Chain A
């Protein structure tokens, strides 16, 4: 199984990557570009899985080389699960990207990272409700201290494709 780590730049994807994989990590350039990405292996429920640290992107509508690579990597790997890392204190734009990826039919787990920073900023997030609306597992995490990482990997098996229409319905329609 392949797992892609996706999210905005600077939300902690690489910290996750380092936490989830061991020493067997290769770093290479995406063919034809100077944009590099890292690849490693992790265990999910006793099974080996390949984990790819995708370059950060704000949306699936690329604005620069790194974003182009991120989108290309997503599109050429159809049979993957996506861990979408979101900065919990900037949740709205993170969810925007997550929705774009869900819309393309990828099974996903959302990591609401930097949860401690969001708490400090007094930002309250109703995880259960978010989970109900999106239909994908949502896990609060603090990657640098390792909080929530175990739960995140254990919830990967619950990731499944969600119809965007169902999300609209769960959210109570478009406003």
Chain B
């Protein structure tokens, strides 16, 4: 199943399948690219940032950024 990174629940894991065009370069420097495995570890309330683990490192993303990244869920 595919969903937006912003819709992932706590402790869910998945693989990045698509990143909106203009965002691609922006998040590449943070280690997020198509094909990367990530795990959601924190979701802040009131439209706060989400924190994911990519390659053993934590990265926090604004919700507006997370909404533009698609992830295939690990089943």
Contact = CB atoms under 8 A, between A and B. Distances in A.
Nearest to A97: B29
Contacts of B55: 90, 92-93
A58 B56 contact: no
Contacts of A97: 29
Interface of B: 25-26, 28-31, 55-57
Interface string A27-71: 000000000000000000000000000000011010100000000
B-side binding surface: helix, strand, loop or mixed? Answer: loop
B62 to A, nearest CB: 11
Interface of A: 58-59, 61, 63, 87, 89-90, 92-93, 96-97, 100, 121, 123
B29 A92 contact: no
Contacts of B57: 87, 89-90, 93
